[in-house]
Homo-oligomer: A and B are copies of this chain.
Amino acid sequence: MRAMIVEAVSPLFYARGFTAVGMDELRAVTGVSLKRLYRLFPSKEDIIEEVLHSWRDTWEANLRAQVESTQVPRERLLAVFDFLAGWFTSEGFRGCAFINSFGELGGISGRIPAIVRAQKKEFQEYLACVATGIGAPETLAPQLAILAEGALTTAAIAGSAESAHQARAAAEVLIDAALAPAASTLAASRAP
């Protein structure tokens, strides 16, 4: 029941933000009376938390599915950006729900920003896991995470998906540089 409610209200929250959607609209879209909503969730903030957790789960599942669709180590890292490209072009894309939530509620409240932080941390750790699995130095994963985050906000604000391809191209350069120790010695030989 709770899951059905979360599923029904998620698109509304994603499209317009948490504060812009009132409880009455939640009642209308779920078909569940206010009384019942308040018995299932102590307050609106609890619904928001559950929605954020649901977003985290589906996002992570989709990402993992794309990454694990290939076994070629280098492709696994690049699959992150292919996943982003597909997402950006999907209908109704309006940026990362977590970043948007942080902008909306980051200045107040305490629980929502913590959830956002946790999600981003999980993403970074997953990326680090994939990167170390192919023998890359541990400096690579944070750089790729930054690229992904940048592509995400750029796509959301500009309303264009090309940032995913640009980020993918940059990721290829970073991965190749990290995996080819010859390149670093080359760069070092130029310095002095």
Interface residues of A (CB under 8 A from B): 15-17, 19-20, 94-95, 98-108, 113, 116-117, 120-121, 139, 142-143, 145-154, 156-159, 162-163, 166-167, 169-170, 173-174, 176-177, 180, 182-183, 186-187
Contacts and interface: CB of A to CB of B under 8 A. Distances in A.
A144 to B, nearest CB: 9
Nearest to A117: B157
A38 to B, nearest CB: 24
Contacts of A95: 102-103, 106
Contacts of A102: 95, 100, 103, 156-157
A121 to B, nearest CB: 7
Contacts of A107: 15-17, 20, 94, 100
A118 to B, nearest CB: 10
Contacts of A15: 107
B146 A16 contact: no
A105 B103 CA distance: 9
B157 A170 contact: no
Nearest to A16: B107
Contact of A116 (B94, B113, B157, B162): B157
Contacts of A142: 162-163, 166
B154 A166 contact: no
A167 B154 contact: no
Contacts of A139: 166, 169
A100 B106 CA distance: 9
Contact of A120 (B99, B147, B154, B183): B154
